[in-house]
Amino acid sequence: MIDRRSFLQGKLSLPFWGGWLWGRKAAAATAPRDFFKELGVRGFINAAEPFTALTGSLMTREVAEAWDYAAPKYVRLDELHDAIGRRIASLIGCEAAMVTSGAASALTLGTAACMTGSDRDKVRRLPDTTGMKTEVIIQKSHRYGYDHAVQIETAEELAHAINERTAMMHFFNTNDPLGKIKLAEFASIGRKHGIPTFNDIAADVPPVENLSKSITLGYSLVAVSGGKGLRGPQSCGLLFGRQDLIRAARLNGPPNSDAIGRGMKVNKEEMLGMMVALETYLKRDHQADWREWEKRVSLIRESVSSIKGVSSEMFVPDIHYRVPHVRIRWDASSMRLTVRDAIRLLREGEPSIEVRPNTNDGLEMGVWLLEPGQTEVVARRLRQVLS
């Protein structure tokens, strides 16, 4: 430990961060702190999905390096936000983009943008909506935990529902198969009536094509999570699309005070990390990733293939987390083990393993968030639990 006095005297010429790093190195030479252990908090292997309550996905090394790069430097936030927005827009192939505090904040800021436009008086007035367009239209089958909207079912009902109070038309990408109005038609109806359309693709990357698909189809705004498949900072998201609406969304967000989104703060480390996450993701060999995930599924399936009464299969969800997963089924009564029991045993075992929480059709696991060496550990534990 450096005491404060010698720190101030000896290191005065170093910027604070230099001193901090120096202190960190000195400490590392003895024993690195195991913070989670100190706190009595247990880590786990993620054979589930990037759930917020499970801290999402892990940032890539490139993102962590960008974070460390930005941490000891000051920069003007709006200048950085502009530059990063331009870079991200060019990577996706759209007019404009911004880093938000999660996809959830992208939903709020994007909706606010459709209500206020660039009218600063309206921005200051929200959540008082007097005199603003206050209605968002959504298909009944697309209602979900993130919306608060006017619902319709058919294209006729939609055309009928559009009126002078309509601020936006919202699409929940995951539920596309359930709705009567499909992705492309919804956008074109919006265009025909001059109503901004929003597509929430928060958890629908990978596949990589989804990043630009909605823009190509004519959506005005798109939101995606930064800390799910993109493996950026978990507190980040992206909002992108029409230039005027992104400008309006920026007005409704930080660092502006007296704005509905002031609490949805994003700082330089997160913005830069998010940009690097996107760059890194776009450069990946997505086919090689897919083959690797299939290999992991096979390894897990093989580990239980010789256990009597146990069957397994690979499955790929339709839209949400559309990557190879594994499902294991067994006869719960003859094995005297329910899926719920297996989930608990995996969680409580050593090391702790989290799987998908579904219990209605076998034990489901994601393999795409596993780190090198962890597939073998999961396979071994699973075999123990089922034997």
- Count helices and strands (H / E) in the chain: 16, 12
Closest CA to 190 of 210, 165, 213, 171: 171
Region binding ligand PLP by CB under 6 A among candidate stretches 199-207, 269-277, 278-286, 367-375: 199-207
Near ligand PLP by CB under 6 A: residue from 94, 96, 103, 369: 103
CB of 225 to ligand PLP, least distance (A): 3
Minimum distance of ligand PLP from residue 126's CB (angstroms)? 20
| Cβ count near 149 (within 10 Å) | 19
Q: Is 146 among the residues that bind ligand PLP (CB under 6 A)?
A: yes
In the set 47, 94, 96, 202, which binds ligand PLP (CB under 6 A)? 202
Query: Which tokens hold the place of 364?
Result: 């489901």
Q: Residue 138 Cβ, how far from ligand PLP at the closest point, in Å?
A: 13
Residues 63-102: x where in contact with ligand PLP by CB under 6 A, - otherwise, as a string: ---------------------------------------x
* Contact by Cβ (8 Å): 254, 265: yes
Measured CA to CA, the distance from residue 166 to residue 155 in angstroms comes to 15
Shortest separation between residue 336's beta carbon and ligand PLP, angstroms: 36
Nearer to ligand PLP, 190 or 237 (CB): 237
The one-letter code for the residue type at 314 is M
Q: Of 110 and 196, which has the nearer Cβ to ligand PLP?
A: 110
In eight-state DSSP terms, residue 144 is -
- Beta strands, E only, 129-274: 135-139, 150-152, 166-172, 197-200, 221-225, 237-241
By the rule CB under 6 A, 55 interacts with ligand PLP:
no
- Nearest alpha-carbon partner for 137 in 150, 147, 146, 148: 150
Residue number with CB closer to ligand PLP (176 or 200): 200
Q: Is 113 an interacting residue with respect to ligand PLP (CB under 6 A)?
A: no
Q: By C-alpha distance, which of 378, 385, 387 is closest to 301?
A: 378
Binders in 323-382 for ligand PLP, by CB under 6 A:
none
Q: How much of the chain is in helix, strand and coil states, percent to nearest 5? A: 45, 15, 40
Q: Could you tell me the smallest distance in angstroms from the CB atom of residue 215 to ligand PLP?
A: 18
Q: Is 387 in the site for ligand PLP (CB under 6 A)?
A: no
Tokens of 52: 């917020």
The smaller minimum CB distance to ligand PLP, of residues 266 and 342, is found at 266
Q: Could you tell me which stretch among 29-37, 200-208, 213-221, 255-263 binds ligand PLP (CB under 6 A)?
A: 200-208
Cβ nearer to ligand PLP, comparing 203 with 353: 203
Q: What is the DSSP letter of 58?
A: P
Does residue number 52 form part of the binding site for ligand PLP (CB under 6 A)? Answer: yes
Q: Which two tokens stand for residue 278?
A: 């996107």
Minimum CB distance to ligand PLP, residue 202 (Å): 3
CA max distance for the chain: 76
Q: Which of residues 221-240 bind ligand PLP (CB under 6 A)?
A: 225, 237
Least distance (Å) between residue 104 CB and ligand PLP: 3
Distance CA 209, CA 136 (A): 27
Which of 49, 176, 200, 354 is close enough to bind ligand PLP by CB under 6 A?
Answer: 200
Cα–Cα distance measured from residue 290 to residue 304, given in angstroms and rounded to the nearest whole number: 22
Binding residues for ligand PLP, how many (CB under 6 A)?
11
Helix (H) or strand (E) holding 350, with range, is none
Q: Are strands 135-139 and 310-315 parallel, antiparallel or unpaired?
A: unpaired
Q: Is the dihedral of CA 304, 306, 311, 314 positive or negative?
A: positive
Selected binder of ligand PLP within 84, 99, 104, 115 (CB under 6 A): 104
| CB closer to ligand PLP out of 116 and 225 | 225
Q: Which amino acid is at 189?
A: I
Which residues sit at the interface with ligand PLP, rule CB under 6 A? 52, 102-104, 146, 174, 200, 202-203, 225, 237
